[in-house]
Amino acid sequence: MRVGVRPVAASIGLMVLLSFVIAYWITPLNLTTANRQNSVLKLYHALLMASLMLFVAGLVRAIVSWRVLSRRARWFVILSIIVGIAAIIGVRQGLIVPQVGMNTQQFARVMIEHHQNTMYMADMLLLRDDVPLPMQQLAANISKTHGEKIDFLLTFL
């Protein structure tokens, strides 16, 4: 019995959609809840993950079930692999170009978010009781200095 293109497209599409959702919404929330604002960088990372999943899903489908796929389903799998590779290359370029071509305000916004996340991690460490004194001192220093950096960066906005 041959497997048609619809079940193949549905399974690959579902995997790509889930990987995008996980990469965009769940992963950033697990890392930090201090700054949940959407950013272009998070979108690019999620697209990279979805592109990688498109490539992997097509490749796995080709390896596991090539013999039972219909001719149209085989073409769909080949196309998903090619589109996945092209998307990975394109999204990687999208990750690099916006970071290199930033203006001062864009850079300040990204760095403020970075420093806020760093302060959040240091503050979370200070809430624990089992942290050695030298590590507490380091975390307090990080929180203080990154707060000063945020204040400085805010002057550019």
Walk along the chain (157 residues) and give the pLDDT tens digit of each residue.
Answer: 677 778 888 888 888 888 887 777 765 544 444 444 456 666 767 777 787 788 888 888 888 888 888 888 888 888 888 887 887 777 666 655 555 556 788 778 878 888 888 898 899 889 999 999 999 999 999 999 999 999 999 998 8
Answer yes or no: do 152 and 84 share one domain: no
Answer yes or no: do 18 and 70 share one domain: yes
Answer yes or no: do 21 and 52 share one domain: yes
Answer yes or no: do 60 and 84 share one domain: yes
Answer yes or no: do 70 and 39 share one domain: yes
Answer yes or no: do 82 and 135 share one domain: no
Answer yes or no: do 130 and 95 share one domain: no
* Boundary residue ending a domain (59, 83, 101): 101
Residues contacting 135, CB < 8 A, separation 6+: 125
Inter-residue contact 101 to 121 (CB < 8 Å): no
In single-letter form, the type of residue at position 24 comes to Y
Answer yes or no: do 11 and 79 share one domain: yes
* Boundary residue ending a domain (54, 81, 101): 101
Answer yes or no: do 83 and 124 share one domain: no
Answer yes or no: do 69 and 144 share one domain: no
- What is the count of structural domains for the chain? 2
Please tell me the distance from the alpha carbon of residue 75 to that of residue 144, in angstroms, as a whole number: 57
Stated pTM of the model: 0.49
Containing domain of residue 67, as a range? 1-101
Answer yes or no: do 81 and 17 share one domain: yes
Question: Percent helix, strand, coil in the chain (nearest 5)?
Answer: 85, 0, 15
Answer yes or no: do 21 and 90 share one domain: yes
